C-alpha cells in the first residue's frame, strides 16, 4: 500500500506528518518533494545507495543537417529553433519525446543523456527511506519523481508529496492507493486544501485529513470536514513545544507528549484504508 | 522596478510579506505568480475585472481514419 501525503498549500506540515507517521507505522518513507526534499533532515538515514537521474536531449550532427527546420517545427516545447545557419538546442526545454528524430529526414539527430537530479536511499532506525533530489535550476521534476516511485520495492510506503496540484503531484498520485491531506486552520490552508480534495476526487483516491497547528477549537477546516463528510484522522497541536521540536529537526513521535497522538492517528489511518 | 519574493521552502510567509510590504509601499502592482496555489487575492475583497483562459502547449488529436497504429514508440 502506498499512501500519499499532500496539502495544496506549502508549509502545512506534510513532512512533519509523513516522517512521524512512517516511524509510528514502521513503514518506509519516500520524499518525492524533489525540489525541496526535507524529510531526511528529520529521519537522518544512513545513505546506502545513490544514483543519478538522466534525461535525454537531441544533438545535431552539423555535417548531416540540411537546415530544413523540420525538427524545430515538430518540437512542441520550443527546445529546438532554427537560427540562421544553425539549429539551436535548448536542452532544459526538451521533454525527451523523440518527435524531432522522427521528423528529421537527414538522420542528423541523436540523443545524449544529462543528469537532472539524483535518487538516494538508506535506513533510519528500522525503516527504509527514499528520496529524489532535483538539481537547482532544473525546470522539470517529473522524471525524478517518476523514477523514484516506479523503482520502489514492493512494501508499504508513505509518500511525502510536493505542494500544489500540478504535474508533480499528479505524477506522484499515479503510484498511490490512498491519500492523507495535511492542512492548517487558516483561510489559506482551507483554500488550497479544497484544490487538493478536488484532485484526489478526480483520481478516485480515498482520502482523509490531518490538521496541523490545531488550537483545539472549532475551526473552518473542521467545519469543512463535517459539511463534506470527510474523515478527520486527527490533529497536530498548535503548541510551542511542537514548533520547537520541529524547528530543531526532531521527531514528535519520539517525544512523550506527542507519541500517543501519532499512534492514534496511525490506528485511524489503518482502519480507514483497511490496511 | 520589479521585486520578487521567494523562499525555497513552502509556507514561510511569501504571501504575507508581499501583502504587507505592498500595502506600505503603496502605488505598486501586486502580482501573484504562485499559479499552482495563488492565495494573495484572499487578503482582498475585490472582484475580478477581467478573466481569460491561458493556453500553453498543444493537445494531440488523432485522426482515426488515417492512423495505422504503428506503435513506433
Domain that holds residue A85: 55-114
The whole-number pLDDT of residue A274 equals 85
Q: Beta-carbon neighbour count of residue A59 at 10 Å?
A: 13
Cell numbers representing residue A104 in the block: 528529421
Please check whether residue B71 touches A, CB under 8 A. Answer: no
The whole-number pLDDT of residue B26 equals 87
Residue in the block written with cell 503603496: B26
The answer to whether residue B5 sits within a structural domain is yes
- Assess whether A169 and A61 both reside in one domain: no
User: Would you call A36 helix, strand, or coil by DSSP?
Assistant: coil
Domain that holds residue B28: 1-46
Cell numbers representing residue A93 in the block: 526545454
- Assess whether A167 and A217 both reside in one domain: yes
CA distance A224 to A190: 8
A8-18 as b/e: b if 16+ CB within 10 A = bbbbbbbbbbb
The whole-number pLDDT of residue B72 equals 66
Q: Please, are residues A53 and A147 in contact by the beta-carbon 8 Å criterion?
A: yes
The overall average pLDDT reported for chain B is 92
Where residue A94 sits, what CATH number does that domain have? 3.30.70.20
Beta carbons of B36 and A164 less than 8 Å apart: yes
The answer to whether residue B71 sits within a structural domain is no
The answer to whether residue B40 sits within a structural domain is yes
The whole-number pLDDT of residue A62 equals 92
The whole-number pLDDT of residue A174 equals 97
The whole-number pLDDT of residue B45 equals 87
The whole-number pLDDT of residue B73 equals 55
Interface subset of B 2-61, CB within 8 angstroms of A: 8-12, 15, 36-37, 39, 42, 57-58
The answer to whether residue B13 sits within a structural domain is yes
Å between B12 CA and nearest CA of chain A: 7
- Assess whether A189 and A64 both reside in one domain: no
Q: Beta-carbon neighbour count of residue B39 at 10 Å?
A: 20
E strand or H helix at B12: none
Total count of domains within chain A:
2
Beta carbons of A9 and B9 less than 8 Å apart: no
Q: What sign for the dihedral angle of Cα B56, A35, A252, A176?
A: positive
Give the model confidence (pLDDT) of B25-65 as tens digits.
989 999 999 999 899 999 998 899 999 999 987 888 999 99
Q: Which residue of B has its CA nearest to A191?
A: B39
Q: Please, are residues A239 and A16 in contact by the beta-carbon 8 Å criterion?
A: no
Regions in chain A scoring below 70 on pLDDT:
none
The answer to whether residue B38 sits within a structural domain is yes
- Assess whether A207 and A90 both reside in one domain: no
The answer to whether residue B8 sits within a structural domain is yes
Beta carbons of B57 and A195 less than 8 Å apart: no
Interface mutation target, options B12, B35, B37, chain A, most CBs of A under 10 Å: B37
- Assess whether A94 and A225 both reside in one domain: no
CA distance A169 to A163: 7
Total count of domains within chain B:
1
Where residue A258 sits, what CATH number does that domain have? 3.40.50.300
Please check whether residue A187 touches B, CB under 8 A. Answer: yes
Q: Of A69, A91, A114, which closes a domain? A: A114
CA distance A1 to A259: 23
The answer to whether residue B22 sits within a structural domain is yes
Q: Please, are residues A34 and A141 in contact by the beta-carbon 8 Å criterion?
A: yes
- Assess whether A100 and A123 both reside in one domain: no
- Assess whether A150 and A242 both reside in one domain: yes
Give the model confidence (pLDDT) of A102-111 as tens digits.
999 999 999 9
Amino acid at each position: 500500500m502506498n499512501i500519499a501525503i499532500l496539502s495544496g498549500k506549502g508549509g502545512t506540515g506534510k513532512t512533519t506528518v509523513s516522517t512521524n507517521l512512517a516511524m509510528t507505522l514502521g513503514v518506509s518513507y519516500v520524499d518525492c518533494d524533489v525540489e525541496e526534499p526535507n524529510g531526511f533532515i528529520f529521519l537522518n538515514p544512513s545513505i546506502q545507495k545513490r544514483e543519478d537521474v538522466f534525461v535525454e536531449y537531441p544533438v545535431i550532427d552539423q555535417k548531416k543537417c540540411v537546415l530544413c527546420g523540420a525538427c524545430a517545427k515538430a518540437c512542441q516545447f520550443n527546445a529546438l529553433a532554427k537560427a540562421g545557419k544553425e539549429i539551436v538546442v535548448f536542452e532544459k526545454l526538451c521533454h525527451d519525446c523523440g518527435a524531432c528524430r522522427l521528423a528529421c529526414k537527414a538522420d542528423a539527430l541523436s540523443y545524449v543523456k544529462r543528469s537532472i537530479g539524483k535518487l538516494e536511499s538508506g535506513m533510519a532506525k528500522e525503516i527504509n527511506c527514499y528520496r529524489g533530489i532535483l538539481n537547482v535550476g532544473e525546470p522539470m521534476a517529473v522524471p525524478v519523481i517518476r523514477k523514484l516511485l516506479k523503482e520502489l520495492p514492493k512494501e508499504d510506503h508513505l509518500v511525502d508529496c510536493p505542494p500544489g496540484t500540478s504535474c508533480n503531484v499528479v505524477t506522484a498520485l499515479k503510484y498511490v492507493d490512498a491519500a492523507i491531506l495535511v492542512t492548517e486552520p487558516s483561510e489559506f490552508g482551507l483554500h488550497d486544501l479544497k484544490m487538493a480534495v478536488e484532485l484526489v476526487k478526480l483520481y478516485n483516491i480515498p482520502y482523509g485529513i490531518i490538521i496541523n497547528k490545531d488550537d483545539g477549537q472549532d475551526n473552518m477546516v473542521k467545519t469543512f470536514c463535517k459539511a463534506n463528510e470527510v474523515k478527520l484522522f486527527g490533529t497536530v497541536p498548535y503548541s510551542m513545544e511542537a514548533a520547537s521540536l520541529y524547528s530543531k529537526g526532531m521527531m514528535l513521535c519520539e517525544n512523550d507528549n506527542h507519541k500517543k497522538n501519532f499512534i492514534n492517528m496511525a490506528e485511524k489511518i489503518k482502519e480507514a484504508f483497511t490496511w | 522596478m520589479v521585486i520578487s519574493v521567494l523562499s525555497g521552502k513552502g509556507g514561510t510567509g511569501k504571501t504575507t510579506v508581499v501583502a504587507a510590504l505592498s500595502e506600505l509601499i503603496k502605488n505598486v502592482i501586486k502580482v501573484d505568480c504562485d499559479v499552482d496555489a495563488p492565495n494573495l487575492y484572499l487578503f482582498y475583497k475585490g472582484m475580478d475585472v477581467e478573466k481569460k483562459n491561458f493556453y500553453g502547449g498543444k493537445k494531440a488529436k488523432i485522426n482515426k481514419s488515417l492512423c495505422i497504429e504503428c506503435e513506433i514508440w
